Every structure is written in C-alpha cells, then in structure tokens.
Amino acid sequence: MNSTIKSICVCGAGTMGTGIAQAAAQHGFTVIVFDIGESMLKQSRIGMEKNLQSLVNKNKISASTRKIILDKVSFTSSYQSCIADFVIEAILEKPVAKQELFRQLFEVNSDATIFATNTSSLSVTEIARALPYPSRVVGMHFFNPATIMKLVEVVQTKFNSAATIELVMQLALDMGKKPVRCIDAPGFIVNRVARPYYIEALRLAEEGVSMSVIDALMESAGFKMGPFHLMDLIGNDVNYAVSCSVYEQLGKPPRLTPSAIQQQIVAAGKLGRKSGVGYYNY
C-alpha cells in the first residue's frame, strides 16, 4: 500500500457502497460503512459476508483471510463515527443530499481528509462549489460490481490541486483498480460514450424489436452483455437517472432523449437484478 490513506469511510450501504467497502477491505484498508438506515447496514454486512464466503467456496481466498477482511470493516449509523483519511459517498443521486452529507462529515474529520463522490454523471464541480472546502472534493466513479470491475474514473475539478488528484489515483491503484483521470464533463467518459448503446437499443424496442433479440445480437457481435442485460445489472433507476442527467447537461439533444420505456419500468419498481425483475426476471 503506497498511499498515505489507510482508512476509508464509505457512505451509503447499498449495492455500490457495499462493493466499494469490500474492495477496500480486501486490499488492506480499515473501512467504515455508514448509512442512516439500520436495515441497510444489516443487509450490507450480510451481503459482504456472503460475497466473501463465495470466494472461499471457489478457493480464491481462505477462511482465515475472509475473517481478516471482515474484521477490517465496521458499520455505523452515527455521523460522529465517520472519521477517516478518505470519505466516499455512494448515496442517492441528488446534489443537495450529497452536499448535506459532506457538510456533516467535514465537521468531524480533519483538514487532511479528502471527500469523493461516486456520482455517475452529476457535476462534481457543482457539488463541491456549495461546500466550505471545495478543493477537498473529487469525483471517484466506480463501476458495478465494484469488487470486480477494475476501471475507476477520477474526476478533477477546477478546485483540485494536482497533488490531491495524484493521491486519489494512487488510492485507486492500492485498491487494485485501474484509474483514469478525466475532466468534469457530462457523463465523464464511460457514461457519455455508453448513452447511445442504451438509448438506441430502447428506440428499437419502442419500434417493436424484441429486447432478447437485441441482446442476443449485440452479444454475438462481441459485447459481453447486451444493453438490456447490462441495464438490469447496473440498475434501471441508476441508468435512467444518468440518461436524464447527461441529456439535461448537454442541452437536451434529441438523439439522447431518455426513453419512455425506461421511465415506465423504473416507475413500476422494476429496477433489475437488485429488485428481482427488470427487463428480465431474476
């Protein structure tokens, strides 16, 4: 571990937050998982225990290593317990919610603590601008599942120093990731490039083409997952929110208009794998 960061507080005990926390603990960091919901914390702990047991069953780690990893993670619903070298949030995609969380945690952490948002597409600059120490706020966008996906987008704003960004890049490396530095632009890199993949597939579905046929064709063409399988994995609520955000930030170009199909499936609570049903049943 080359980074000066030794402890990480992950805010948000959902799928992404749990994955980030597990990835950090597996690479030797002391981790605090924070959430205001006790039930979410319980689910996060159980999920992490199951994920690590699966690795034991596959002979990828030993039972003793599993225990060491779990011992590195604590769970809390208290803001006062969220003291760490590095804080990363993976809460709902609402700028005001992220800003309020950071304000609370600025008060209990040292002046050296760096704060990162795992936002998929919101402006990191706008999140940071309203905070008392914008230079300490960066973007660090992981991809789902965070325990497996190597890519991390490190988003630099005009407030950040080169030293701060280098620190975050090194942290990503120490977590076993492959960081890519990017500017604070709508959708960053991946979500900007990927929009047409999802939206054009949804357009075809609107025209009556079977979703399973679209997925099968794209997978036979070499894509690891078809667009509908992938949206179900990511979470249809997350994917739809990103589509809306990128569309708005780019000035509402017609080619990126979010699909009514996706809006309806989210409204129906069919969020994908995490809810048991999305474009497919799980």
Q: Is residue 75 within 8 Å of residue 39, measured between CB atoms?
A: no
Give the full edge-to-edge strand order of the sheet including 7-11: 73-76, 30-34, 7-11, 86-89, 114-117, 137-142, 151-156, 178-183
Q: Which among 61, 39, 41 is positioned nearest to 52, based on CA atoms?
A: 61
Tokens of 54: 């699966």
Q: Give catalytic status of residue 107 as yes or no.
A: no
Residue with the two structure tokens 């979410």:
40
Q: Which of 118, 120, 160, 243 is catalytic?
A: 120
Q: Residue 4 CA to chain centroid, in angstroms?
A: 23
Tokens of 146: 């965070």
Q: Which among 171, 144, 173, 168 is positioned nearest to 155, based on CA atoms?
A: 168
Q: Which of 93, 144, 153, 239 is catalytic?
A: 153
Q: Give catalytic status of residue 120 as yes or no.
A: yes
Q: Is residue 29 within 8 Å of residue 72, measured between CB atoms?
A: yes
Tokens of 183: 């500017």
Q: Give catalytic status of residue 141 as yes or no.
A: yes
Q: Which of 89, 118, 121, 141 is catalytic?
A: 141
CB atoms within 10 A of CB 15: 20
Q: Give catalytic status of residue 38 as yes or no.
A: no
User: How far is the C-alpha of 184 from the C-alpha of 227, rounded, in Å?
Assistant: 25
User: How far is the C-alpha of 199 from the C-alpha of 205, rounded, in Å?
Assistant: 10
User: How far is the C-alpha of 20 from the C-alpha of 218, rounded, in Å?
Assistant: 29
Q: Which of 3, 44, 191, 239 is catalytic?
A: 191
Which residue numbers are catalytic? 120, 141, 153, 191
